[in-house]
Structure 1
Amino acid sequence: MADQDMITYVAVGKDVKDCKSILSWAIENNVRGSRICIIHVHKPAKLFPLVRSLMTERKVRERLESGTQSMHAIMEEYFVFCQQKGVQAQTQTIEMNSIREGIVKLISKYGIRKLVIGSTSANHYKRKVEVGSKKAKYVCKTAPLSCQVQVICKGHLIFTREASATDTETGQSNLNRSRSGPSGYNNRVGSPLIECSDFPKLRSVTVGRNRSTPLAALIASFPERSKELSSPASPGDSSYSARSPTRPVEITLNGWNDRSSSTLDLAPSVVQQSPRLISSSSNISTSSNGAHNVVERSLEEQLQQAMAALKKEALVRQRAEGYMIDAIRRAQDAENQRDNYIEELWISKEQETSLKSQLAELQKERDELQMERDHALKEAEGLKKKEEDSNGHMLELPEFSLSKIAEVTQGFHESQKIGQGGYGNIYIGRLQTEVAIKMLHSHGSQGSQEFQMEVNVLGQLRHPNLVKLIGSCPEAFALIYEYLPNGSLEDRLKCKDNSPPLSWQTRLRIAIELCSVLVYLHSSTRPRTIVHGDLKPANILLDSNYVCKLSDFGICRVLSRDRSSSDSVTLSHNTVPKGTLPYLDPEFLQRGVLTVKSDVYSFGIILLQLLTGKSPPYSIVDEVNSALLAGNFESLLDPSAGRWPLEVAQSLAELALMCSDNYRKRRPDLGTRVLELLESLRDPT
């Protein structure tokens, strides 16, 4: 145990930059000759069950091994830091799902007597210093009482939980000294080692029969009263009568919580000899000179006996005072501990009430989102049923003349232009409501083909996450859509026109909505499957509530199947590769074979772009895969999205990498597992 007392254990985490200040403090304040031992609790990576089911055993093993390797690298960095400080350090690690429980387990396992731990913040509550982080609170409350815990925040000591086992030994030592007599006191007999300020709750002590004296005054008078007991008194002295048999010295302890009292009666036996002393004195005055020496020796012997008796009774009183002081101290400690428990219980109840309130708000928000989702799904199902009932016939869309759309766009004035691309220009206008008018290039057959494809596809489809086609102008190859004020996802990721960045919650919802509309287009329940073929952030529009709307179906392909067939993977279309790098399926680019898995590849790249904000996303797949294996994926996350929950972000990244696999057969089906996993990430409960 003595060897353990010479070791200072320092608990560190994954954030080396923050934890170096803790380690530096421990080294600077270390007792000369003691050693440093660095302890760390490794929390293994948590995989959502659905993510784990989609990963191979090798991928799972690589993921876990990368976390272990990252932990070893962190401990090596701490070890090197200690060497630079001129300190030889040891390291101890343990793997547990709970960091704070792991620290307590290490304390018990190695019999740690001194621990230095970090805290994120600290505050003052009433007159008591509270440790800010839950981890530090838990360790201070749960660690064995033999361990001293020092809490460090930003390089400063903010709290110390002393080892109570040491305090108990000290108290027992004081008690033994008080029982041993004068050795438990200072050089002056009757001068106690314990200050009267140690007993703030003792109000008064009754001395004699009817006098109440403050404890401080009584203890302060112990040396003088001891002198009185150790010196002879004459019968004429007033102090002599105070010690006579008829008036014993009486010490009464009153007032500690009005629940206890203790009375000590001191009636010195030597005082009973006082009449004989007086009588002897009178006889001596009338005796002869020859007998004077004999009487003098007799008086001296009696005085010596009286002094011995007085010293004996002083020792008895000193022991009684020691017992009284020790009892008061123990009672004081018990009441302080009770007050601490009451205060902690009150704080816990306040925290419980706050957590219940937050939980109720979160449940209410979840219920509202669930209702919105159910409503959207019901609306989609209704639209889908109407479409099936129409046997694939295109809905009748209104057609507008060129003069009409020229009128609403002020003759296609530049001030009305809101977009421009290889397909043509987009203008804003008003036909009962605000609309966006896309003018396709009229030269050649390309504009005519794209115009007819969009009319054919969007004219018969309805989904909450599909852009709504309001009408067309065949003579100008113009398409008239609903106006979406927040533009494209690409513009919002770039914060174009100083628009606010998209939060990670909004990005996750956009991913779910995009997956939902792709499942609708790829659905095998209809006789036709639609492959978008040009999936990218520029073709994903956002309404006023940032709900995504998929648009630009000019190069999409309709893959027909027999009604008895349900295999969507075998459905394909051979064509010249079109689309936008790097969202284009590598197999489609090499072989010219377009399938629904081509959209799955593009969807995976968009997921990685939502996570990282990287634009254009060249080599994004390799960068994210390398970061996950190295354990530093968090550094790739787009900081403008806010603080992603790391487990959610990692699960989303792993799903995106599976979708963007170079081989289409290894890409998951969006309709079976991917949509379910995305929704579980938004609502992990």
Structure 2
Amino acid sequence: MDWSTTTASTRSTSTRPSDMSSGSGSSGLDDAETTLHSEEPSAAAAAPPTEREKVYVAAGKDVKEWKANLLWVLQNVPREKKIVILHVHRPAKTIPLMGGYFPADQLNDHEVATFRQIETQTMNKTMLKYQTMCARVKVRAEKLVIEMDDIVEGIVMLISQHQITELVMGAAADKQFTKKLKAPISKTALAVQRQADSSCKIWFLCKGNLICTRPGNPNGQSSIVINLWDGVPKKASHGSENSFHSKDVGANNEIYKDFQSMLTETEKLRREAYQETLRHQIDERDLSDAPQSAKTFNNSYPKEMLPSREVPGMRGREATELEDVKRQRDEICEELQKEHEQRAQLELQIINSNRVIKDLQEKLSEAHCLLFSLEREQEELRQERDDALKEAERFRRRVKELGIIQCSTENFSEFSYAELEEAANNFDESLKIGEGGYGSVYKGVLRHTTVAIKLLNPQGMQGKSEFHKEMDVLSKVRHPNLVTLIGACPEAWALVYEFLPNGSLEDRLSCKNNTPPLTWQARTRIATEMCSALIFLHTHKPLTVIHGDLKPANILLDANFVSQLGDFGICRLLESNANTILFRCTHPMGTFVYMDPEFLASGELRPCSDVYSYEILDASAGEWPFEQAEQLAELGLKCCEIKRKNRPDLAGEAWNILEPMMKAS
């Protein structure tokens, strides 16, 4: 492609708009009507040298149609050349409204302005796509947009006004492209080829192929630039996002059909009236010319030119012809009178039609007001419905909560607060056997049975939730290595458990109150029992239970050092799935040092989260058998793996190691 690099002493007034423009191309440059849509250029006799460094690309509104042509330009234009996207925007003459199309001059200014804003926004989005294509290959593209009725006139005007010397435009629609195409065939391209200034070189493209080139004459005289466009209205190339949405109102369909029918009838009557008036004028002219024609006829045959014996016959013929002319005149006058009457009737019908149209317009306006009123009422009703649904959901949760309490209390005893006070001697501090953020645990005698009373803290963030959850879980699951829930007191948020005299595993590991350390056999058995309890919870149907806070303080020991897992306050009940069991928690709860690192990082709670921090070995247990100690150490290290996929399966690998050890011990 031969791109001219010469400079000229001509001045360009094209400015670089802030957003993309749209133009004319092979995909849609047809003749139409619009208004100006560009920054106002100033006419000048010459352009600066930089103007010859620009290549103007007349792009259409169909990006898909013009994409291949723009890619051709980006591949062939030298890097030192600047690209300017040129576009002639043509507003629509008819506007869609209420399921039909109405002429813009028959709608009010607000409706037209709203639709024009939508058109402008659509055009700007199209131009943005062109600029984005250029930006992807690191080419900065400017834009030049004009809004005009005729696309050819707009392109020719911009060529003359900005003294464009290099222009790329479409030669035909993509669907018309053939290898035999050697010249532009679209009306727009042909017109621009004829009318554009001879100094402008034009490349015609089709479907990304160069069809032909109209050479420019750099030494030729440029067209004289006249500020004919000074009076053309201008507007900004950006608009608001407001749009006018037409609604389908059932009651207005009939009004619209009558309105459309009346418009058609009125137009028909106007045409008939015009034709009648035209015929009337022709008849009047013929009537006024009739006497003159007769006189001319008489003068064309003077008496001296006729033989005397032929005069009487000639006069008779003339009299007959004159009578015929008079008769024709009378007939024309009568016809004219009828046409006058018919014209008056048509004018009366037009007046009546205009009155009906005005009435229909008023009804249409009232229908619009009614529509807006109904929309507001609908929005209010929708809001009331949403509020009612929220209230119903709140009541459902409350009913479910009460149902859980009722269902849970059916499986065990319910105690009053007075009974608990009596059992724990008014919750004497000397009977307190445990304390934490959840509340306090007291030893007591309830109905001749030694029990542990867990009194939850009402001010705690999880007090109510922990009470319901622990009561719900322990009422549904039963296992030898899970604490036994005897009853509850909903009044005081208190839970009553079987009393386990040897306290927690944490107390035994720390040798609290100088108690002897656990033997390695006891530790192996406790690990095996906890493995069994976790397998039971993780495989429970239909709801899988994830404890979520497995630690030595929550493992309790009875008189025979049989371990039982307790404290289900922050556990999770999940539906079992063949593929995965997952719970997502935004704010993880539990003891930090025992929590799964991946759970802390992602908030995803899985059964393998309970596997983390599972094994404990220390020298206080006595002389460990080397083989068992090695196996337990390896199993413990695997349980502490940061990545879940590297941790052992409790029901598989862990159980296969622990069960033989427990039997052997």
- Say which one has the larger Rg: 2
Task: Give the TM interval when normalised to the shorter protein.
Answer: 0.3 to 0.5
TM-score for the superposition, normalised by structure 2: 0.38
TM-score for the superposition, normalised by structure 1: 0.37
